[in-house]
Chains A and B, each alone.
Chain A
Amino acid sequence: HITLKESGPTLVKPTQTLTLTCTFSGFSLRASGVGVGWIRQPPGKALEWLALISWDDDKSYSPSLNSRLTITKDTSKNQVVLTMTNMDPVDTGTYYCVHHSLGLGEFFDYWGRGTLVTVSS
């Protein structure tokens, strides 16, 4: 049974760095083909993919946010950490941790409940 849970601050100030932790269970990030990613949704807007880290430590980032994002993993703790620098009010939204799978294509088959992050002074 795969579960993912996001944790981190609910409120950050503009220009600060956001650090979110995803703690997961039911799978190992050592297993070939497995990945963990982050997706966010601003209030009233669409889903936006942010970053992905794979079992072999391959990392990819949203092109529009690449310079602000860093994703890392700690396989011993079953955790993935996302940092986003220089936070702005437009970064307010719900941040989801997701399990990434490969079939013929790729998809996100398990999602955390999400954590609401508000950026405000």
Chain B
Amino acid sequence: QSVLTQPPSVSAAPGQKVTVSCSGSTSDIGSNYVSWYQHLPGTAPKLLIYDNDKRPSGIPDRFSGSKSGTSATLGITGLQTGDEADYYCGTRDSSLSGGYVFGTGTKVTVL
């Protein structure tokens, strides 16, 4: 089963912008829609983005998602200290093995 590749960490100062990449293959990201999850320490993960670029109700528009080919990107603008968390991408795996796959996770640090 494939695993999606994310950078281990990204960082920026408050108010700045960060992007988190998620790299996959033709059988996962290339064939399916991507979602993104925010995991704050000690809490349950939260859905941030679904269907590549849609935000659930209550998620501020500082968070955005995009997809191109076999990669996806999460963007966070106007970075706040409360955004410091782990972020995961996820999608269906349409290969023979099947299932749902998550990314390796990215720690976003607010400097």
Interface residues of A (CB under 8 A from B): 37, 39, 46-49, 52, 60-64, 96, 101, 103-114
Is there contact, CB below 8 Å, between B33 and A106? yes
Is there contact, CB below 8 Å, between A111 and B44? yes
- How long is the Cα–Cα vector from A111 to B35 in the complex, in angstroms? 14
B63 within 8 A of A: no
**Which residues of B are found within 8 Å of A37, using beta-carbon distances?**
100
- How long is the Cα–Cα vector from A108 to B44 in the complex, in angstroms? 12
Is there contact, CB below 8 Å, between A105 and B32? yes
Interface string of B90-103 (1 = CB under 8 A from A): 11100001111111
Is there contact, CB below 8 Å, between A105 and B44? no
Contact status of A49 and B100, CB under 8 A, knowing A96-B45, A111-B46? yes
The 8 Å CB contact of B56, one of A62, A96, A109, is: A109
Min Cβ gap B43→A in Å is: 8
A-B residue pairs in contact (CB < 8 Å), sample of 6: A46-B102, A46-B105, A96-B45, A103-B51, A107-B51, A107-B90
A-B CB proximity, top 9 nearest = A105-B33, A107-B35, A111-B44, A63-B97, A49-B100, A107-B50, A47-B102, A46-B105, A104-B51
**Which residues of B are found within 8 Å of A106, using beta-carbon distances?**
33, 35, 92, 100
**Which residues of B are found within 8 Å of A112, using beta-carbon distances?**
44
- How long is the Cα–Cα vector from A28 to B34 in the complex, in angstroms? 25
Is there contact, CB below 8 Å, between A62 and B1? yes
**Which residues of A are found within 8 Å of B35, using beta-carbon distances?**
105-108
- How long is the Cα–Cα vector from A68 to B65 in the complex, in angstroms? 35
Is there contact, CB below 8 Å, between B33 and A49? no
Min Cβ gap A80→B in Å is: 16
Given A47-B90, A47-B105: 8 more A-B contacts, CB < 8 Å = A49-B101, A63-B97, A103-B51, A106-B100, A107-B33, A107-B47, A111-B44, A113-B43
B17 within 8 A of A: no
**Which residues of B are found within 8 Å of A61, using beta-carbon distances?**
99
Is there contact, CB below 8 Å, between B34 and A105? yes
Min Cβ gap B31→A in Å is: 10
